[in-house]
Amino acid sequence: MSRMRLAAAEHRRLRLRARLRRELIGWAFLGPMFFFFVVFLLIPVLGTGWWSTQFGGLTTGTHYVGLDNFTRLPDVVGATVAVQNTLLFALMSVPLILIGSLLIGLLLARISRGGATYRFLVYFPVLVPPVVAALIWLFLTNVDFGLFNEVLRAFGAEPVTWLGASTALPVLAALDVWRNVGYWAIFFVAAIIGLPEELYQAASLDGAEGFAKLRYITIPLLRRILLFAIVVATIWGLQVFDTALVLTNGGPGTSTTTIVLRVWQYVFGSNNKVGYAAAISLVFLVAILILTVIQLYALRSRRGED
């Protein structure tokens, strides 16, 4: 026997109205951004899936071919080469980036003066548009007056063709390292500074010196951050495009043609391979999504291990 004075039905109605009002307010704030997100990000992602089942050109019309594009993918001209190049590139650049930035981070975290200046200088290359960075490196690698060869000449060595068929990809990787090491360096500096001081003091009391501290304290504590950095740096590395286009335009031959570059060539180069491009994109997308999920999973677990 309820002592309430308003009928249950009336309550339901009013409650619904209040609920609706709150929902509306919530969506009023979230809506605009979400709208752009859905239209310009979510739908395109789904769209890639649709496009990958098509065959034809972007503006010349296409027709449905089911999953043909995927089955033919390994044979598609340049697809495997692109994947190989990209993987090789990532394999070269990501470890160097992380080791270099970790080193810089360790040094920067411990010095007492001039930190701001170092940070500014180290971070500067990060802010340069990749296109401009590639342009700069064109200068550095120029056979006749490039900085690299000038330095070699100063030491009496022979000038090298830096952008040749076998050297272009490593040079591209070096460019990437040069550009990105600063970003991660700052990242690690913050992480290292955030480590509890007492652990190091305790370790000193226990007799640990320099390298031992690094090995037994710093690295284990940074494990989660390192994992995050590895995954994210890899994801970024795999998407290399701007520099490959401007520095070497995928060449010489196809030695620096990366996945995204290949996709771009298929879409805007020869006109009727849109399906292939989309198929490549989709596989690429899924691969990156998997990496993202790995990263999220690795971060979510183990709350009590710090």
Partner 1 sequence: MAAQVIGRRSPQDAAAVAEHQRRAQRRGRIIGIGRHLVLALICFILVAPFYYVVLASLKDSTGIFQYPPKLIPFPPYFGNYERLLTDTAFPRWMLNTLFVATSVTVCKIFLDSMAGYALAKLDITGKRIVFMLLLLLLMVPFGALIIPLWTLVYTLGLLNTYWALILPALANPLGVFLMRQFILGLPRDLENAARLDGVSEFGIYWRIILPLIKPGLVVLAVIIFTDQFMSFVWPLISTSSDDVELVTVGVAALRSHGGVDYGLWSASAVMSMIPIGIVFFVLQRQFLARSLAGALKQ
Partner 2 sequence: MTTIQPAVPGPATSGPAIELVEISKRYDKTRALRGVNLDIESAEFLVLLGPSGCGKSTLLKIIAGLEDPNDGEVYINGRLANYLRPKDRDVSMVFQNYALYPHMTVGTNIGFPLKMRKRPADEVASRVREVATLLELTDQLEKYPDQLSGGQRQRVALGRAIIRQPVAFLMDEPLSNLDALLRVQMRTELLRLHRRVGRTTVYVTHDQVEAMTMADRIVVLRDGVIQQVGTTDEVYGRPANRFVATFVGSPPMSLFPGRVTHGDGGARRFQGGLTVDLPAGPAIDGEITLGVRPEGFHVVGPTDAGAIEATVELVESVGADEYLSVRMGPETTATVRVESGSGIADGQRIHVRADPAAVHLFDAEGNRVPTEAKHP
Sites of contact with partner 2 (CB under 8 A) = 2-6, 10-11, 14-15, 17-18
Which position among 65, 118, 170, 208 is part of the footprint of partner 1 (CB under 8 A)? 118
The partner in contact with residue 183, picked from partner 1, partner 2, none with C-beta cut-offs of 5 to 8 angstroms by kind, is partner 1
Q: Rounded to whole angstroms, what are the CA distances from 283 to 139, 224, 266, 286?
A: 35, 27, 15, 5
* Residue 4 Cβ vs partner 2, minimum distance, rounded to whole Å: 5
Contact region with partner 1 (CB under 8 A), list: 89-97, 145-153, 164-172, 198-206 = 145-153
Q: How many CA atoms within 13 Å lie on the side-chain side of 271?
A: 6
Q: Rounded to whole angstroms, what are the CA distances from 179 to 1, 21, 96, 183?
A: 74, 49, 12, 8
Which position among 8, 29, 197, 301 is part of the footprint of partner 1 (CB under 8 A)? 29
How many whole angstroms from its chain centre is CA 176? 11
Residue 161 binds partner 1 (CB under 8 A) = no
Asked if 143 and 149 count as a contact pair (C-beta separation under 8 A), the reply is yes
Q: CB-wise, 66 or 194, nearer to partner 1?
A: 194
* Residue 52 Cβ vs partner 1, minimum distance, rounded to whole Å: 9
Residue 292 binds partner 1 (CB under 8 A) = yes
Residue 99 binds partner 1 (CB under 8 A) = no
* Residue 190 Cβ vs partner 2, minimum distance, rounded to whole Å: 25
Q: Give which of 218, 116, 234, 149 is closest to 184, Cα–Cα.
A: 234
The SS3 of residue 62 is strand
Q: Distance between CA 266 and CA 52 in Å, rounded? A: 12
Q: Distance between CA 140 and CA 179 in Å, rounded? A: 14
Residue 94 binds partner 1 (CB under 8 A) = no
* Residue 5 Cβ vs partner 1, minimum distance, rounded to whole Å: 25
Residue 123 binds partner 1 (CB under 8 A) = yes
Residue 188 binds partner 1 (CB under 8 A) = yes
The partner in contact with residue 15, picked from partner 1, partner 2, none with C-beta cut-offs of 5 to 8 angstroms by kind, is partner 2
Q: CB-wise, 7 or 294, nearer to partner 2?
A: 7
* Residue 231 Cβ vs partner 2, minimum distance, rounded to whole Å: 33
Interstrand relation of 54-57 and 61-64 (parallel, antiparallel or unpaired) = antiparallel
Q: CB-wise, 2 or 140, nearer to partner 1?
A: 140
Q: Give which of 128, 106, 82, 107 is closest to 255, Cα–Cα.
A: 82
* Residue 80 Cβ vs partner 1, minimum distance, rounded to whole Å: 17
Specify the DSSP element, H or E, that contains 186.
Answer: helix 168-193
Subset of 68-87 contacting partner 1 (CB under 8 A): none
Q: Distance between CA 265 and CA 18 in Å, rounded? A: 54
